Amino acid sequence: MDYISHFRSFSRIFTQNIGILNNQVLLSPLSLTESRIIYELGGNKSTTAKSLSNELKIDKGYLSRILKGLESENFVTSKTSKTDNRSKKLLLTDKGIDAFEKLNKASQNHIEQLLGTLSHYEQKKLISSLTQAQQILEKNGQSSALDQISIRSNLEVGDMGFVIQSHAELFQEEYNYSILLEEYVAKGMLEIFILKKPNKNKAWICEHNGNRIGYLFLVDRGETAQLRYFFLMPEYRGIGLGKKLMDSFMNYLSSAGFSSCYLWTTNEQLSAQSLYLKYGFLLNEEKSSMVFGKPVTEQKYLWTYN
């Protein structure tokens, strides 16, 4: 697949639909760059030129010239920082605030009109895709994403399919597993779904802005429990979500009265193994086998109630 051509094609179509090349859409005499600066200052209330340059990815010299123009037109003013005399805070004037409110309202109306041409399903699909793209591209902002992630335990339509597809696709990409893994996960999910009730099965499904981005399952095996399908999308790793899931899992494991818990994994999944060890799981068994289309070392980890 030609990724670059696809990316450029999307960028062109998205730009045309949003209309950022047409200032009349935003009903503003300001240039695109000036509008971006006004919008950023309106959202952040006050910031420095250095921070603005980093945030908007604008050359410092070019930004300085734009800011001088905005100051001369009385859109922006600057004040020396109370904590650092070498630093100046940029602020919107009353005229700047008025411009920001008009920009914001015009932009809001334009997006509402654009979304209004789409069905509810198309709107949901579009926003979901945009959210995924934003999370992947804005990796520096991941630390704040944890508070925006919701975790639910009720299974909804599409959850089982997502678990099967995401596991198969990502593990093929990361570990070169074959379609046999997809078959394995599909059988496991079916077992969870049809397991005789009542049982103490539990699921943790992670969502961010309407997108499923991870999950973890506990399967009731009587006196013992099995940890299955611990999965996070790559762009959501390293932000503490795995720890949050394991905290929830271990709390439920204890409260539900299980005396032990086990899991099967492979020696390739190093990050997950490290997390299991931190929560008291110990390597109990290893065996070499041919699974998922390649030779692997299967590992069984065991936790027991103390």
Asked if the model's pLDDT at residue 250 lies above 50, the reply is yes
Asked if the model's pLDDT at residue 25 lies above 50, the reply is no
* Last residue in a domain, options 65, 96, 117: 117
- Position 298 in a domain: yes
CATH of the domain at 286: 3.40.630.30
pLDDT score of 141: 47
- Position 59 in a domain: yes
| Predicted model pTM | 0.66
Question: How far is the C-alpha of 188 from the C-alpha of 196, rounded, in Å?
Answer: 14
Q: Are residues 180 and 259 in the same domain?
A: yes
Q: Are residues 162 and 274 in the same domain?
A: yes
Structural domain boundaries enclosing 178: 148-304
- Position 142 in a domain: no
* C-beta contacts of 296-299 below 8 A and 24+ residues apart: 296/266, 296/267, 296/268, 297/266, 297/267, 298/264, 298/265, 298/266, 299/264, 299/265, 299/266, 299/267, 299/273
* Amino acid identity, position 42: G
Q: Are residues 113 and 152 in the same domain?
A: no
By percentage, how much of the chain surpasses pLDDT 70?
Answer: 91
- Position 174 in a domain: yes
Query: Maximum Cα–Cα distance for the chain, whole Å?
Result: 75
- Position 140 in a domain: no
| pLDDT range class, residue 196, cuts 50, 70, 90 | confident
Burial class (CB in 10 A: 0-12, 13-18, 19+), 225: buried
Q: Are residues 60 and 169 in the same domain?
A: no
Q: Are residues 300 and 157 in the same domain?
A: yes
Number of domains in the chain: 2
Q: Are residues 169 and 292 in the same domain?
A: yes
Pairing mode, strands 260-266 and 224-232: parallel
Q: Are residues 166 and 111 in the same domain?
A: no
CATH of the domain at 78: 1.10.10.10
